[in-house]
Amino acid sequence: MKIVGIAACTAGIAHTYIAREKLIQASTSRGHEIHIETQGLAGTQDALTQKDIDEADVVIIAADIKVNGRERFKNKKVVEVPTGLVVKSPNKLVEKLEEVKV
C-alpha to C-alpha distance for 62 and 9, rounded to whole angstroms = 8
Give the mean model confidence (pLDDT) for residues 75-84.
Answer: 94
Given the residues 3, 4, 9, 67, select the one marked as catalytic: 9
- pTM for the model: 0.92
∠ CA(62), CA(64), CA(65), 5° rounding?
110
Enclosing H/E stretch for 95: helix 90-101
Looking at the predicted structure, is the pLDDT value of residue 13 above 90? no
Arithmetic mean of pLDDT over the chain: 93
Is 9 one of the annotated active-site residues of the chain? yes
* pLDDT on residue 10: 82
Fold (topology level) of 2-101: Rossmann fold (3.40.50)
Closest by Cα among 79, 70, 64, 59 to 18: 64
Q: Which residue has the higher pLDDT, 74 or 102?
A: 74
